[in-house]
Amino acid sequence: MNRRLETYSYFYSPIGKIAIASDGEFITRLAFCPAGWEQRLAYGENELLSQAVAQLAQYFAGTRRLFDLPLNPAGGTPFQRRVWAELGKIPYGAVWSYKELAQAVGNANASRAVGSANHANPIAIFIPCHRVIGANGCLTGYAGGLEKKAYLLRLEKRDGSI
């Protein structure tokens, strides 16, 4: 598959600087201020990046629960893409365990593989990998850091609890 040139923009959120990439047709990546993006992608604006920034601002303000953006995660195996598709089905304010997510993709014994796919999600927040927690209810792994995961879950609960 040939990818179009990706451009990126930044959004300054309450949890830090977020980089968003687009190929002009889809949002392809979102990451928490990763080092090295500036060297691989061209900084720029396009209508899709502007929409993504606006929707993130609404999300962090508590006025948006669903994102309405065309997403095409960069990379990923067929299994990872299935996991990412299921992540999009977790409702705002809800959490699933890794086991529940594994069951949703059709393999209840694949919790570790689901965890790896969750960690590899290239479009965090828009594909809500922060909504997956350990079976015991504890926060576990998040590529952006557990403090960011906790913040996002509190934002969605709005009652101060995770």
Sole residue written with tokens 């086991």 = 99
The model's pLDDT over 40-69, given as tens digits with 9 standing for 90+, comes to 555 667 899 999 999 999 999 999 999 999
Task: From 29, 67, 69, 19, select the one nearest 48 (Cα to Cα).
Answer: 69
Neighbours of 17 (CB within 10 A): 12
Q: What percent of the chain shows pLDDT beyond 90?
A: 62
The CATH number, out of the four listed (3.30.70, 2.20.200, 3.30.160, 2.60.40), of the domain defined by the range 7-61: 3.30.160
Domain spans of the chain?
7-61, 78-157
Q: Distance between terminal CA atoms of the chain? A: 40
The model's pLDDT over 76-118, given as tens digits with 9 standing for 90+, comes to 999 999 999 999 999 999 999 999 999 999 998 888 999 999 9
Give residue 1's pLDDT.
46
> In the predicted model, what is the mean pLDDT of residues 26-41?
73
Give residue 160's pLDDT.
47
Give residue 126's pLDDT.
97
CATH code of the domain occupying 78-157: 1.10.10.10
Give residue 140's pLDDT.
84
Positions marked catalytic: 129
Give residue 40's pLDDT.
55
| Predicted confidence band of residue 144 (pLDDT cuts 50, 70, 90) | confident
Task: From 133, 141, 135, 142, select the one nearest 161 (Cα to Cα).
Answer: 133
pTM for this structure? Answer: 0.87
Share the mean pLDDT of the chain.
87
